[in-house]
Amino acid sequence: MGKRFDLVDVFHDGPFTGNPLAVVAAAEGLDTETMLRMTRWFNLSETAFLLPPEDGLADYRVRIFTLERELPFAGHPTLGACHAWLSAGGVPRRRGEIVQECGAGLISIRPDEGRLAFAAPPLLRGGAVDAETMAMLAAVLRLDPAEIVEARWADNGPGWIGVMLRSAEAVLAVEPARHQAETLDIGLLGPHPAGAQAAWEVRTFFSDAHGNLVEDPVTGSFNAAVAQWLRETKRADGPYIAAQGTRLGRRGRVFVAYDGSGAAWVGGRTQTMVTGRLGS
């Protein structure tokens, strides 16, 4: 096979503190089954496969896989794939902007003070959850429903449901049920005290193939939906930093800013940790 691959640390705050991503370059000729098999072999939360663009406005195309399925969009694979594409010599068509083509369409990415940031895509599903879903969330998270400030759909591809708690401390204290028959993607957020380095604490949990809820180190897609949520509800109108991965011993840092139109940009540091060649 001989294809180049990179292991990229995304949303890190120092080496080996973010969310690792495998990126396979020049993935032409790999079919879906092979990509999924390779993703399972890397055994990371996601693997990205770089391909030539099909849309004339895009700089490159990416296919994003979890251990179970292909995603139309995901955040840390977007930044990690862009980082790998640039590191391999990719030159964007437009100065100061990289355009990624993926299942969700075209995603704009820009350099941002030594980081990369992507424009948050529109939600596929938003709005408040119903009473039945709220009860299920409280049960899975082992919370009294009164502890939940707000819960809403935050689905921009993976299928997130967002749950806001009163504080970062409350988010870090959650001990969810570790097995759930229904496939779930749940994100938690809660504010840090005023003056803290990070404004919000975030945690995310997703179902694996066996129904276990697994915690993700840092999740760009959920943070993108959160940025839109906070802006819409007037809880944020300027730049802020979100922390994620704390309970896992990581120091994920997500940098959010809003442009003049109110669109959210979600950024983070990216670093190549390993570069190699795949065997035949």
Reported as a single tens digit per residue, the pLDDT across 70-117 is: 999 999 999 999 999 999 999 999 999 999 999 999 999 999 889 999
pLDDT at 177 over 70: yes
Do 4-119+267-277 and 131-262 fold alike per CATH?
yes
- Mean pLDDT, the chain, rounded, equals 96
Any idea where the domains of the chain sit in the sequence?
A: 4-119+267-277, 131-262
What's this model's pTM, rounded to 2 decimal places? 0.95
- Kind plus residue range of the DSSP H or E element containing 5: strand 4-10
Cα–Cα distance, 59 to 94 (Å, whole number): 9
**233: region left, alpha or beta (phi > 0 left; psi from -120 to 50 alpha):** alpha
- Token pair 């504010």 is found at 191
pLDDT at residue 36 greater than cutoff 70: yes
Q: How many CA atoms lie within 13 A of 226 on its CB side?
A: 33
Per-residue pLDDT at 172 exceeds 90: yes
How much is the pLDDT for 179? 86
Q: What percentage of the chain has pLDDT greater than the value 70?
A: 99
Q: Which of 28, 46, 54, 101 is catalytic?
A: 46
Cα distances from 43 to residues 20, 87, 192, in angstroms, run 10, 23, 32
Q: What is d(CA 180, CA 178) in angstroms, rounded to the nearest whole number?
A: 7
Domain 131-262 has CATH 1.10.10.10: no
Is 46 one of the annotated active-site residues of the chain?
Answer: yes
pLDDT confidence bin for 211, thresholds 50/70/90: confident
Mean pLDDT of 26-33: 97
Label residues 105-133 b or e (16+ Cβ within 10 Å = b).
ebbebbebeebbbbbbbebbebeebeeee
- Does the pLDDT value for residue 210 go beyond 90? no
Fold of the 4-119+267-277 domain? Diaminopimelate Epimerase; Chain A, domain 1 (3.10.310)
